[in-house]
Each structure stands twice: as structure tokens, then as C-alpha cells.
Amino acid sequence: MLNTTHHDAIVVRGGRVIDPTTGRDGIVDVAIDDGVIAQEPHGNAFVLDATGLIVCPGLMDIHVHLREPGQAHKETIETGTAAVAAGGFTFVACMPNTQPALDTPDVIRWVIARADEVNHCAVAPVAAITQGRRGRELTDFAALKAAGAAAFSDDGTGVEDDAVMRSAFERASKLDALLIQHCEYRAISAGGVMHLGEVSRRLGLPGLDPRSEEAMIERDIDLCRRTGARYHVAHISTAKAIELVRGAKREGLPVTAEVCTHHLVLTDEACSEADPDTKMHPPLRPQADVEACRRGLLDGTIDCIVTDHAPHSAEEKAAGFLKAPAGIVGLETAVGIAARAMIDDPPLSPLCKGERRGVADWPQLIAWFTTGPARVLRRRAAAVDVGARADLTLIDPRSPWVVNPSEFYSKGRNTPFEGWTLTARSVATIRGRRIRRLAPVVGTA
Ligand SMILES: [Zn+2]
């Protein structure tokens, strides 16, 4: 288990506090009294040495699969949220492609109650748009929202029927609900196991046409324009798709988008070994699309970074590239991979004239994991502010570590990043009076 301790008073000493909400960036001690950020701690505080660490608001990931109810062999709310905390997140939105689907108020309430019981992080379930995620009859949006649904999505699949999606937009507009779309027309993508292009042809593997993603975004932006409902593109992955969102934002439409960590660092070349842990939907794309994803973040077209954490069992992934289910785990590598993509790595090609290394800085990166996702869900991001409930993440930005899936808290070991050396990593979260630290335990003074 994560090393978890409780304290009435805590001082996080000597860390670099970065808070995108307040714009603060500097070395300062953070005092926590009875779970609330205070001017000074009461009496005998537990001192956490954060020298060399970044202290920021708790990170948010608005796209994870916790697999319960019904698929506990892949992940449970307990193991999934432990992985959430180990990855440095204090809030996640979980997707409804469970068994049964998250399509009734009862099952929404069950997920929230179970997550509260386990208490590793805050969990906001995303309810299904259609009953059973079958793409036909809409769910009861009002009742689901009242039960605690953060948004609506049939994620795992897109809503393909035009009339059904139009009614979803109309209903969402009345309730000011957010629609999150997994953009994929299976009529176009059917049979594809990786991006359709040069690499799929070379490998002789069935390709998945990127039009399946772009065509659905096009239709949905049109529906957004007609109805005014808030619309969010899940795991955007092609240059053309990003251009569509850019246009919609320019038009002033309430459209937002997220990108997955893996789509920022891996191209379809990673599928060359036909390793099932490089199979996902949407698939890994060519270099030009990876660059477009990075640029989309930098110019604000893409609002946030997510993991699309999608655990599968080893047996399922052993079925081979053609038959294995799509998806990879991502929570415990997210900070390191995102930092590598947006801060450490030389850009794939120069993004600006004269630019040599790196494209973003830590305040920017943290915003993509805090204020960005908060804006999408219209929630408040945590703030490192006196009077706020403690909701913090501690990141070590420069201690190389090697990704070893057998150390994951998630049940899923399906990562393409095994053996990668990353430099950044979350080392602890603090929620209220509770500190969760990764082993090796962060120093106390
Ligand atoms: Zn999806």
C-alpha cells in the first residue's frame, strides 16, 4: 500500500509552490491545520521536507476507467484509485463502460460511495448518454446529474446515430450538462487495429481510418452550433481533428478537448513489434499528428491532458495484437510522460523559430492537469491558498526512475513504457489531514 499517514498539523517545507489558480510560483512553506491550508500550523506539526520538489494543487484526470462494477479482473475502484493517488492525482472522472454501464442513478451513487469508502481520491463518475451504451435510447440525464454524474459519455464507443446524438445535445443543453464524445464511427474504423497509413501497410495490419474520428467531430460541432450544449472531445489524436476544434473555439462554441499522454510521445512506429500494449483507440498516429497534439496544447486548442487509463488483464492482452482489447494504463506514468513530451524533450520539429529544447514549463504543465480539466468540467481546481482544504500534489521534477509495471498499484500492467527512464514523478498527495507517499518515502525533517 501507499504509505498513508494522518496529521492534525502539517508543514510542507521548502518546496517550489506552483499554483495556476493564483499564479503563484516560488519557494514557500505550506502549513496545514486540521486539513485546511493555514497561515501557521497549530502546535507540533508533522514536517514534510519538500526541498527540490514542486508543490501544486492536486492533479485532475478527467478520463480514467476504474472498471467497476463488473470487471474487477481488470481493475477495482480500490486498486484504480490507489493508482490515481500514486500517480499524483487527487481527482478523477471515471468512464461508464462498466458492466452494467453507469446508466442509472443507483450505479452512479454506488461508484461514489465505494470511492468514498476507499478514500484515495475524489471520484466523479461520467454517466452513459444512452441506455446500456447501446446508442439507442437516452438515459435520464436529470436523474443521473442529480445522483452526481459529472458529465455524459458512451466512452468506449461513440454515439453514431445522428438523431440520437441530436436529442442528447438538446437534452444536455436544457440541463447545462456536458457531453463527452469518444469520436469514432465504427462504419469507418471497423476492423482496424492501428492507424491506417504507411506503417500499417508495411506491417500488413488492418488500418483504422482517421476519418472515423474526424467525421464524428465534424457532425458534433454542427450539433453544438445548433443546440448550444457543452461538448468535449475525448482523446483527440489527429491534426485535422485538432483543427476542427480550433475552428469551433474561434467561433465561440462551447467546445473543449483533451489529449492522452501517450499521444504526446508515441507514434504508430511503436506498433512495429505488434506489441498489444501499443494497441489503443484512438490508435497511435504518425509524427505530424503527435506534433499537432503538442501544438494544440500550447495554443490552448486542447484544454487538458488525460491518461485514458484503461487496464486489462495479462490474459486479455496475451491474445495478440489483432485480438487483444485496446487500451493501456497511464496513471502512474502520466506526470513523467507529460513532462518528457512537453518540457524535457527537444520538440519533434522546431515549434518556434530559434527554439531548441523543451516547449513548456512546469507552471504550464501543471495547468494542463489542474485548471484545464477543471474548466472542462466547470469545477473549481484546488488552490494552494489559506483557508482552502488541503488538496496538494508533490512532484519530484528531476530524479530519474525506470518504469517497472510490477510496481504499479493498478492491477493493469499493460503499458508501452516499461523500461523507459523518466525524470519526473509524483511522490505524494495530501488531502485534508492525510498524506499518501510513494515508497521510497519522501523525507521528513
Ligand atoms: Zn474512448
The rounded Å distance from CA 41 to ligand 1 centre is 44
Other C-beta atoms closer than 10 Å to the C-beta of 386 total 13
CA of 157 to the centre of ligand 1 (A): 6
- What is the SS3 assignment for 193-261? CEECCHHHHHHCCCEECCHHHHHHHHHHHHHHHHHCCEEEECCCCCHHHHHHHHHHHHCCCCEEEEEEC
Give me ligand 1 centre to Cα 26, in Å.
37
Q: In the chain, count of helices (H) and strands (E)? A: 13, 23
The Cα–Cα gap between 224 and 385 comes to 36
**Of 162, 163, 156, the residue nearest 132 (C-alpha):** 156
308 counts as catalytic:
yes
d(CA 85, CA 60): 10
What is the DSSP track for 114-179? HHHHH-SSEEEEEEPSBGGG-SSSB--HHHHHHHT--EE--TTS----HHHHHHHHHHHHHHTPEE
d(CA 123, CA 92) in angstroms, rounded, equals: 5
pLDDT tens, per residue, the chain with 445 residues: 688 999 999 999 999 999 999 999 999 999 999 999 999 877 789 999 999 999 999 999 999 999 999 999 999 999 999 999 999 999 999 999 999 999 999 999 999 999 999 999 999 999 999 999 999 999 999 999 999 999 999 999 999 999 999 999 999 999 999 999 999 999 898 889 999 999 999 999 999 999 999 999 999 999 999 999 999 999 999 999 999 999 999 999 999 999 999 999 999 999 999 999 999 999 999 999 999 999 999 999 999 999 999 999 999 999 999 999 999 999 999 999 999 999 976 554 444 444 444 589 999 999 999 999 999 999 999 999 999 999 999 999 988 999 999 999 999 999 999 999 999 999 999 999 999 998 655 655 4
- 103, 155, 277, 308: the catalytic one is 308
Ligand 1 center to 308 CA (angstroms): 7
Task: Tell how far the Cα of 281 is from the centroid of ligand 1, in angstroms.
Answer: 6
> C-alpha distances in angstroms, 180 versus 93, 233, 236?
11, 6, 11
Which of 14, 13, 90, 92 is CA-nearest to residue 57? 90
Half-sphere exposure (CA, 13 Å, Cβ side) for 319?
11
* Residue 260 CA, ligand 1 centroid: distance in Å: 10
* CA 188 / ligand 1 centre spacing (Å): 16
